[in-house]
Amino acid sequence: MVTISLKSKADPDTESFMQDFHAMTDAHPFAGYLSVLDNYACFEIKPFDGKILFGYITTLERGKGHGTKALRWLTDLADKHNVELVGHIERKGDEGLTTVELRRWYKRHGFQVNRQLRIVRASAPASLATGDNK
């Protein structure tokens, strides 16, 4: 008998990232798969295969810079823990940024975006993430 496990391999960087992420966010009261940052942004993320799978980001008030602030917070945390963020651009509903605008937005935050709208952001070297570039 062969058993196949879909669990990702344990990775100390992604585990420590997730510990910090959950310590700094709250569980969404109605959607357990979402985490809430400071009552203004929601994320859907999970570790997978040594990376952080980034599935969703939304804000409670659009057009106030909360999404940018939240994404910057997430990328800083990823840099601190030396983890790569991966995901896919998918517009949710008719409100908010268009797919073209989302592509530009992610690129401004250091993500590479391919034609299939897959996004990848490698972690910054530890010296850049901490400002210790001596």
Q: What is the pLDDT of residues 104-132, one digit of tens each?
A: 999 999 999 999 999 999 987 554 444 44
Please report the pLDDT score of residue 87 as a whole number: 94
Give whole-number Cα distances, 90 to 37, 94, 126, 127, in Å: 21, 12, 30, 32
Whole-number pLDDT of residue 41: 92
Nearest to 88 by CA among 59, 45, 47: 45
Asked if residue 134 has pLDDT above 70, the reply is no
Average pLDDT over residues 14-41: 92
Does the pLDDT of residue 30 top 80, yes or no?
yes
Stronger pLDDT, 30 or 8, i.e. the higher one? 30
End-to-end CA distance of the chain: 55
pLDDT at 133 over 60: no
Q: How confident is the model at residue 73 (pLDDT cuts 50, 70, 90)?
A: very high
Find the mean pLDDT for residues 50-55: 91
> How much is the mean pLDDT over the chain?
85
Bridge partners of 51? 48
* CATH code matching the domain that covers 12-123, chosen among 3.30.70.20, 3.30.390.10, 3.40.630.30, 3.40.220.10: 3.40.630.30
Cβ count near 130 (within 10 Å): 11
Q: With a cut of 90, say whether residue 51 has pLDDT above it.
A: yes
State the pLDDT at residue 2: 43
Q: Which of 6-15, 79-88, 114-123 has the lowest mean pLDDT?
A: 6-15
HSE-CB at 5 with a 13 A cutoff on CA atoms is 6
